[in-house]
Each structure stands twice: as structure tokens, then as C-alpha cells.
Structure 1
Amino acid sequence: MSHEPSPLRDYARHVGLWIVAIALIFVAWELVLVATGLPAYVIPPPGKAIGVIFDNIPLMTQLTSQTLSETFYGYIVGAVLGVVLAVIMAQVPIVHRLLYPALITSQAVPIVAIAAPLVIIFGFGLTPKLIIVAWIVFFPVVVNVLDGLASVDHDQINLARLLGGTRLRTFMIVRLPACIGPLFSGLKIGACYAVTGAVIGEWTASSHIGLGTYLLTANAQMNTAGVYGAMLLLTAIGIGSFLFVVIVEHFATPWRTRMTAPAYFGGNIPPHASTQKQKV
């Protein structure tokens, strides 16, 4: 009899916890207003902030689509470059020694400070915003993949080579699977902060109106409900991005939630193995 948990039950439980957590945030929001007595032009009630979104659905849809596309494409660029560079640095030690200090130094530069030079170089448009988002996503992906590749047991690598594995095949079978977990950790961190990069890009280098530029305009007009409405949509993008990566991770790493895992990268179970298992 199988004792593996039901995936649908797990999904329902996780979704329920998310709904409860979000509901508690709105309840706390209301309680703060009741306890402090702050007027609506300082902190609007949740219903009013949500109402702004539904009262301006065509505009909010357009703004959200613009910011979401900037976040998505910048995220993809940063993630791909991070994985590729991390693999190169892990395989070529001299590249690792030369580039790693430069990566640390690049992250010490405030992200807002690089926005102005990017506008001068690339002008107002999509490119500066993509670079800013990729800049934010890039670093956690590189560091986590490097840590994953460095944590591989050297005995496993030596065993693979003794069994005749080439350098490429050893990397694919032993080292690459070891960095999948750390890779998704970096991707989840990047997913949370990617929307921040998109907003900063819109504030400094935007030729198209998105949620970031709308937030500045609403703030200048003392439209507090609009400010909080934009904040809710930006938060929704960040949460949605994180959950999407979690879902991809679930399907890419089935061994974390199942008793058995499929054989990846050419690793097949011998035919007699299942027979021996049944006899036992």
C-alpha cells in the first residue's frame, strides 16, 4: 500500500495557507486603521485600494502588462546569463578567480546609481529596464549555482571517471543535477526582486507607462488609493513570479516529493533491479 501524499491534497493545503496569509495581511491593515484612526488620504482602507483597480480595469490591465513583460524578459535574461556564467566559472578556475571579485563589486553599486548611465548609453526604452532587472536576478543565480557545483562529493566525481565517464558526461550526470536545488533557490530569490528592478527602471528610464510610473504620478497627485492599488498589483506580480518558479521546481525535482525518482541524464535502472526488489 502506497503512503505517498496526494499531490492534489498538498496543492490544496498550500493554496489554503496562502489565502489565509493574504487574508491576515488585509485584516491587519484594517486593524491598523481602526487602532490609529488615520484618515483615508494617508492610508486608504483595503477595499478602497482594491476598488481603484476594479474601477480602472482597462488602464490597470495595460499598466500591469507593461510591467509584467519588463519583469519577465529581464528575469529570463538574468537567469540564463547567471547559469551560463556560473557553469563557465566552475569549469575554468582562472575565470572564477578573475570574475568573482568583480561580481561582488558590481553588487556593491546601488541599483539606482547604474540607472542613469544606462539611460545615457541606451536611451529611454526597454533595454535599460531589462538590464536593471537582469542585474538584480543575475547575482543570486550565479552564487547559488556556483555553491551547488562546488558542493558535489569528489568521491562521486572520481567514481564516475573510473567508470569511464568523460568530463562532459561526468558534468551532466554528477555535477549538474547537484546544482538544481541551489539553482531554484536563486531563481526564487530573483523572482521576488525582479519586479523591483522593473519599477526602478520605469522610474529612471521609461518611455512607456507602467505600474511604476503610474505609482509616481498617483503619488504626485495625492491619489493615495491609486498608490496603494499599484502597490497591490506589484506585490501580486512578485508573489505570482515566486509561485511560478515554485511550480516549475516541483515538476523539475520530483524526487523531493516522491519516494521514487525518474532516471535523468541517461541513467536507466537495470531490468533485473525491479525483479530483485519484488522478491525482497
Structure 2
Amino acid sequence: MSETTSPYREYARHIGLWIIAIALIFVAWELVLVVTGLPAYVIPSPAKAIGVIFDNIPLMQQLTWQTLGETFWGYVVGAILGVVLAVIMSQVPIIHRLLYPALVTSQAVPIVAIAAPLVIIFGFGLTPKLIIVAWIVFFPVVVNVLDGLGSVDQDQVNLARLLGGTRLRTFMIVRLPACIGPLFSGLKIGACYAVTGAVIGEWTASSHIGLGTYLLTANAQMNTAGVYGAMLLLTAIGIGSFLLVVIVEHFATPWRTRMTAPGYFGGNVPTSTSTQKV
């Protein structure tokens, strides 16, 4: 029987590569300090930046949960609105033609410029921050889902309708699976940038202290180690969000890692044309 690579071995390899990549970043950081001789008030060592986090665990934990909550809920709102609007636009061409230019135009407006009017309308609090995060996540999800729905082979759609499929059933069986890959591409892009929206929201519309506001305070106090410590936590949130979407994608698309995929009407559909010799 031909040998196949164990999925657990693949997971271990990917995790190992991530660990190596992160370790190389810290090594490069330390080398910059050694080569340039920059003082600690300009660039602290990785040990000092990490030390600030562990020396202030209760505070850092509270700040991280605050920023993480803003990132998560804004991300969920942006992703849901993006998927719903993309489906509507794909099914109603006139809405697509009317809204698509407006969506592109909205992304040309700097997000910082949008934050100020949001504060005037909604005041300081959670709402402006959620809108800012959702605004950032929304666009890549809409565009990727639209591209996925638009890439469906029309012959497959016609065949499904010829076999008696209703418009809804044709959408669920033919169109929707075609956009799963692009959907997760948009979700992964949004996951990387969602924390940026949360930080911008904290800078402009925050009534609660989070990592973004702590970063500004530490910068004003010339607490460089605190600035870099907050930056490390924000980076960890971004990386963690990305990896979480990757994990969800793995379980939502098992046919990418298995030899067979569940069929729509029961049974398994082979995903590989290669034969195995026993």
C-alpha cells in the first residue's frame, strides 16, 4: 500500500516552522542591537520587552482581554455583513453594479479619518471601535466571496437547474461550495488586520483602556520597553486570530486534507485520481 503523510506530522512540521520563524525574528532583533549599539530607550532588548509583560501580568491581562474583545466582536460583525452582502450582490446584479463602486470608494477613505465622525455620532465607547474593526474586515470578505461566487462554471449551474434543482438548492450545492476557499482567504486577511482596527479605535474613541491606549501612554512616558511589550501582545493577537481561522478552515474543508470528501447525497467522493497498489 502506498504511504501517505500523516496529518499530525504535517501539523507538527507547520508548527515547527512557525516557531523557527518567530525565533529568527527575535534573533534578528537582538542582532540589530548588537550591531548598531542603539540604547535601550530607543530599542529595548527582547528580554526587556517580554519582561515588562511578565512583570505586569494582571494589568497586561486586563488590557489584552479588552483589545481582544473589541477585535473579536468587530471581526464577527464585519465577516457576517460581508458574507451576507456578497451573496445579495451576487444574486441581484443591479445591487452589485450600484454598491461595488461605493465599496471601493469607502476603502479609499483613511480609516483614521472615519474614526472622528464615528465618535461624533456614537460617542466614546464600544460601538465606534466595533464599526472600525468591522470596516476593515468587511471589504476583503465581500470581494473574495464575490469572486468565488462569480467563478462558478455556468454549465454546472445550468445542469443543476436542468436536473430539477431550485434556485436555492442550486445555490447551496453549486455556488456556495465554490466560495468557501475565497471566503477563508478573506477571513484570514481580515484576521490579520482586525487588531489594527481595534488599536485605531482605542486611539480615537476609547472610554476603556486597552493595549492601544497603553501603547500611547507608554510612548508619552518614554517607556520604550512597555511600547514594545504592547506591540508583542498585539502581534500575538493578530497571529492567534490568523491561526484560529486556519484551524476552522481545516475542519470546514476536510476534503483538502483527506483522500475522500463527503458527497452531497451521501457516500464519499474521491478527490484523487491516483490509484493505490496493495
Do they superpose with TM above 0.5?
Answer: yes
> What do the CA deviations read for 1:176-197 (whole angstroms, capped 9, x no partner)?
0000000000000000000000
Which residue number in structure 2 is paired with residue 258 of structure 1?
258
Alpha-carbon distance, 1:2 to partner: 5.7
Which residue number in structure 1 is paired with residue 265 of structure 2?
267
- For 1:247 and 1:4, locate their aligned partners in 2 and report how far apart those are by CA, in whole Å: 21
Question: Which 10-residue stretch deviates more, 205-214 or 5-14?
Answer: 5-14
For residues 166-181 of structure 1, the aligned pairs below 5 Å read 166-181=166-181
Which residue number in structure 2 is paired with residue 56 of structure 1?
56
Q: CA RMSD in A?
A: 1.3
Which residue number in structure 2 is paired with residue 83 of structure 1?
83
Which residue number in structure 1 is paired with residue 6 of structure 2?
6
1:157 aligns with 2:154: no
What secondary structure, in the 3-state scheme, does the structure 1 residue paired with 2:262 have? coil
Alpha-carbon distance, 1:4 to partner: 3.3
> What do the CA deviations read for 1:5-48 (whole angstroms, capped 9, x no partner)?
21211111111000000000000000000000000010000000
Q: Which AA in structure 2 matches 1:247?
A: I
- For 2:67 and 2:225, locate their aligned partners in 1 and report how far apart those are by CA, in whole Å: 19
- For 1:182 and 1:27, locate their aligned partners in 2 and report how far apart those are by CA, in whole Å: 35
Which residue number in structure 2 is paired with residue 217 of structure 1?
217
- For 2:166 and 2:122, locate their aligned partners in 1 and report how far apart those are by CA, in whole Å: 44
Question: Which 10-residue stretch deviates more, 214-223 or 158-167?
Answer: 158-167
Question: Which 10-residue stretch deviates more, 249-258 or 222-231?
Answer: 249-258
Alpha-carbon distance, 1:267 to partner: 2.5
Which residue number in structure 2 is paired with residue 43 of structure 1?
43
Q: TM-score, normalised by structure 1?
A: 0.95
What secondary structure, in the 3-state scheme, does the structure 1 residue paired with 2:119 have? helix
- For 1:24 and 1:134, locate their aligned partners in 2 and report how far apart those are by CA, in whole Å: 33
| Residue pair 1:148, 1:183 contacting (<8 A) in 2 also | yes
- For 1:2 and 1:89, locate their aligned partners in 2 and report how far apart those are by CA, in whole Å: 46
> What do the CA deviations read for 1:173-217 (whole angstroms, capped 9, x no partner)?
000000000000000000000000000000000000000000000
For residues 189-228 of structure 1, the aligned pairs below 5 Å read 189-228=189-228
| Residue pair 1:4, 1:259 contacting (<8 A) in 2 also | no
What secondary structure, in the 3-state scheme, does the structure 1 residue paired with 2:261 have? coil
> Identical aligned pairs, as a percentage?
89
What secondary structure, in the 3-state scheme, does the structure 2 residue paired with 1:261 have? strand
Which residue number in structure 1 is paired with residue 272 of structure 2?
none
> What do the CA deviations read for 1:147-180 (whole angstroms, capped 9, x no partner)?
0000000111111011110100000000000000
> What do the CA deviations read for 1:54-77 (whole angstroms, capped 9, x no partner)?
000000000000000000000000
Q: Which AA in structure 2 matches 1:241?
A: S
Alpha-carbon distance, 1:133 to partner: 0.1
Alpha-carbon distance, 1:258 to partner: 1.2
Q: TM-score, normalised by structure 2?
A: 0.95
Aligned residues: 270
| Residue pair 1:192, 1:238 contacting (<8 A) in 2 also | yes
- For 2:214 and 2:242, locate their aligned partners in 1 and report how far apart those are by CA, in whole Å: 23
1:240 aligns with 2:248: no
- For 1:43 and 1:144, locate their aligned partners in 2 and report how far apart those are by CA, in whole Å: 39
- For 1:48 and 1:116, locate their aligned partners in 2 and report how far apart those are by CA, in whole Å: 35
